[in-house]
């Protein structure tokens, strides 16, 4: 069985041998030492820095094609590499070296009897299939996370970034030559949608699929494979405004959660307003929201206070707009808000704005979502902001257990974030506040 070099894009015909080689590579990756992995990361950063010109030249070919195809400005923006982005990538990889090795962590150690010692220890997952769209700077981020964790990967990037993606894979070949301890085929770039479709049928080789892209892409992958999928199809995020809220803060957080990056999965889609505060909150919020370009839709009770906006239908409560549209519902109580979120939400990120500590705690405990926030924008739900170093995706799934599963296999974690009206806008741009990320 002959295999292409890792930078090549295998044809549909040899997807099976490609995946098998990737799985074999994983078994080699899993036994690398921390020092070997960190040295590979250092080399990778260096190789990217040295070949910035190559990357920019190849990226220029994609840009030219994009201009010929009249791509949208936002897609163009995401596609374009520049010296600054490359320097950021290089720094990101160097930062990763400083993080502890996630594999080999001892989670527990029990003496079962004299000389019989049980350890629970973290290990890498396996061969991971990652599908992503346009942004070519995603490739080095993914590759460096895969290296650091000791996994192997097959990648499928957006067609618009073909030349840039292949340039990055050329640098992987250089990395493999510089680090002979890396097993060949630990990273392979797939070509064509057919390759992705075929990959879905090899659970014996692929341990996990991470689709990063449209709801449609994610749904389609989840429906067509037995391989576990890490990700989320929807991001229907909520903010509930409780009567004990500080009004100024509530308006600022709600606006931030919507406008800070409307197409992000952690952007606000439905604002739930307690009826006890609706008449003082809604007119004020509507004024700022409309000034910020947000289009509002409301339930019947909302329309009584904001007659100028369009009505929301039942379908709105399940809609991820992905743009500056926002639905508003007046709810009679805290429990009604929780019930609405658990029923209509996507279990991604949901927040409450309130000052009453008992109310905050009840909300954080009773909402069944991966991220539940008190007095902070939903936009904080992000691996970098959480201090995770980087993010391979955001998962709304709950499964996690391996081996004999006892009590601890019956629980999963959630992230609780407690703020004082914090908004993400303060942490981005040229005047951004730095994160402290200090362990307590």
Q: In terms of Cα–Cα distance, which of 73, 90, 54 is closest to 170?
A: 54
Kindly state whether residue 257 participates in binding its own copies, applying the rule CB under 8 A: no
Kindly state whether residue 128 participates in binding its own copies, applying the rule CB under 8 A: yes
* Shortest reach from residue 435's CB to its own copies, in Å: 6
Question: Which DSSP string do the residues of 254-291 spell out, in sequence order?
Answer: HHHHHHSSTTSTTSEEEEEEEHHHHHHHHHHHHHHHHH
Residue among 77 and 122 whose Cβ is closer to its own copies? 122
**Sign of the alpha-carbon torsion through 3, 7, 142, 392:** negative
- Contact yes or no for 231/394 (Cβ under 8 A): yes
Kindly state whether residue 121 participates in binding its own copies, applying the rule CB under 8 A: yes
Size of the site for its own copies (CB under 8 A): 100
Residue among 323 and 426 whose Cβ is closer to its own copies? 426
* Shortest reach from residue 72's CB to its own copies, in Å: 27
Kindly state whether residue 27 participates in binding its own copies, applying the rule CB under 8 A: yes
**Across-strand partners of 297?**
310, 327
Residue among 22 and 298 whose Cβ is closer to its own copies? 22
To which residue do tokens 């909302």 refer?
302
Residue among 68 and 118 whose Cβ is closer to its own copies? 118
> Beta 349-353 vs 371-376: how paired, if at all?
parallel
Kindly state whether residue 273 participates in binding its own copies, applying the rule CB under 8 A: no
Kindly state whether residue 42 participates in binding its own copies, applying the rule CB under 8 A: no
Kindly state whether residue 411 participates in binding its own copies, applying the rule CB under 8 A: yes
Kindly state whether residue 87 participates in binding its own copies, applying the rule CB under 8 A: no
Kindly state whether residue 68 participates in binding its own copies, applying the rule CB under 8 A: no
Going by C-beta distance under 8 Å and a sequence separation of 6 or more, which residues neighbour residue 56?
81, 82, 83, 86
Tokens in use for 178? 């510089």
Kindly state whether residue 216 participates in binding its own copies, applying the rule CB under 8 A: no
Question: Per CB under 8 A, which region of 25-33, 55-63, 249-257, 287-295 contacts its own copies?
Answer: 25-33
Q: What are phi and psi of 424, to 5 degrees?
A: -70, -30
Kindly state whether residue 74 participates in binding its own copies, applying the rule CB under 8 A: no
SS3 7: coil
Distance CA 177, CA 7 (A): 12
Write out 66-115 in H/E/C secondary structure. Answer: HHHCCCCHHHHHHHCCCHHHHHHHHHHHHHHHHCCCCCCCEEEEEEEECC
* Shortest reach from residue 165's CB to its own copies, in Å: 21
Kindly state whether residue 399 participates in binding its own copies, applying the rule CB under 8 A: yes
Question: Per CB under 8 A, which region of 129-137, 145-153, 236-244, 287-295 contacts its own copies?
Answer: 145-153
* Shortest reach from residue 305's CB to its own copies, in Å: 30
Kindly state whether residue 228 participates in binding its own copies, applying the rule CB under 8 A: yes
Kindly state whether residue 310 participates in binding its own copies, applying the rule CB under 8 A: no
User: According to CB under 8 A, which residues from 366 to 385 bind its own copies?
Assistant: 366, 368, 370-371, 376, 380-383, 385
Question: Per CB under 8 A, which region of 87-95, 178-186, 252-260, 389-397 contacts its own copies?
Answer: 389-397
> Beta 237-241 vs 349-353: how paired, if at all?
parallel
Kindly state whether residue 356 participates in binding its own copies, applying the rule CB under 8 A: no
Tokens in use for 224? 């067509």
User: According to CB under 8 A, which residues from 311 to 340 bind its own copies?
Assistant: 338
Out of 14, 391, 425, 428, the only residue in the binding site for its own copies (CB under 8 A) is 391
Tokens in use for 47? 């190789």
Distance CA 160, CA 74 (A): 13
Out of 35, 117, 304, 358, the only residue in the binding site for its own copies (CB under 8 A) is 117
Question: Per CB under 8 A, which region of 39-47, 62-70, 166-174, 365-373 contacts its own copies?
Answer: 365-373
Distance CA 146, CA 223 (A): 26
């Amino acid at each position: 069985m002959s295999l292409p070099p890792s930078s090549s894009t295998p044809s549909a015909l040899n997807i099976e041998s490609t995946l098998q080689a990737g799985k074999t590579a994983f078994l080699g990756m899993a036994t690398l030492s921390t020092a070997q992995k960190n040295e590979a990361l250092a080399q990778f950063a260096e190789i990217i820095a040295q070949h910035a010109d190559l990357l920019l030249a190849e990226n220029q070919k994609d840009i030219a094609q994009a201009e010929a195809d009249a791509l949208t400005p936002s897609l163009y923006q995401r596609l374009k590499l520049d010296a600054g982005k490359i320097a950021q990538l290089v720094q990101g990889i160097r930062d990763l070296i400083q993080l502890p090795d996630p594999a080999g962590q001892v989670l527990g150690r029990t003496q079962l009897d004299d000389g019989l010692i049980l350890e629970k220890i973290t290990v890498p997952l396996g061969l991971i299939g990652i599908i992503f769209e346009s942004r070519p700077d995603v490739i080095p981020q993914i590759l460096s996370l895969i290296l650091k964790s000791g996994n192997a990967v097959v990648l499928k990037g957006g067609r618009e970034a073909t030349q840039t993606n292949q340039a990055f894979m050329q640098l992987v070949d250089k990395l493999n030559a510089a680090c002979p301890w890396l097993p060949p085929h630990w990273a392979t770039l797939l070509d064509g949608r057919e390759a992705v479709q075929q990959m879905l049928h090899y659970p014996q080789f692929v341990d996990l699929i991470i689709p990063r892209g449209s709801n449609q892409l994610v749904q389609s992958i989840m429906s067509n494979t037995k391989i576990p999928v890490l990700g989320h199809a929807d991001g229907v995020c909520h903010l509930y405004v409780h009567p004990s809220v500080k009004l100024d803060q509530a308006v600022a957080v709600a606006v931030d959660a919507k406008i800070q990056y409307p197409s992000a999965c952690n952007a606000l889609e439905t604002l739930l307003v307690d009826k006890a505060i609706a008449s003082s909150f809604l007119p004020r919020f509507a004024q700022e929201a409309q000034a910020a370009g947000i289009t509002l839709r409301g339930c019947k009770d909302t329309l009584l206070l904001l007659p100028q906006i369009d009505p929301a239908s039942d379908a709105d409560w399940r809609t991820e707009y992905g743009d500056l549209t926002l639905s508003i519902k007046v709810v009679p109580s805290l429990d009604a808000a929780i019930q609405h979120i658990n029923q209509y939400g996507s279990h991604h990120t949901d927040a409450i704005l309130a000052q009453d500590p008992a109310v905050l705690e009840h909300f954080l405990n009773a909402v069944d979502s991966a991220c539940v926030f008190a007095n902070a924008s939903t936009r904080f739900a992000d691996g970098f902001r959480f201090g995770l170093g980087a993010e391979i995706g955001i998962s709304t799934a709950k499964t996690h257990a391996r081996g004999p599963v006892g009590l601890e296999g019956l629980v999963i974690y959630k992230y609780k974030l407690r703020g004082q009206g914090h908004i993400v806008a303060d942490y981005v741009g040229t005047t951004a506040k730095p994160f402290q990320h200090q362990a307590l």
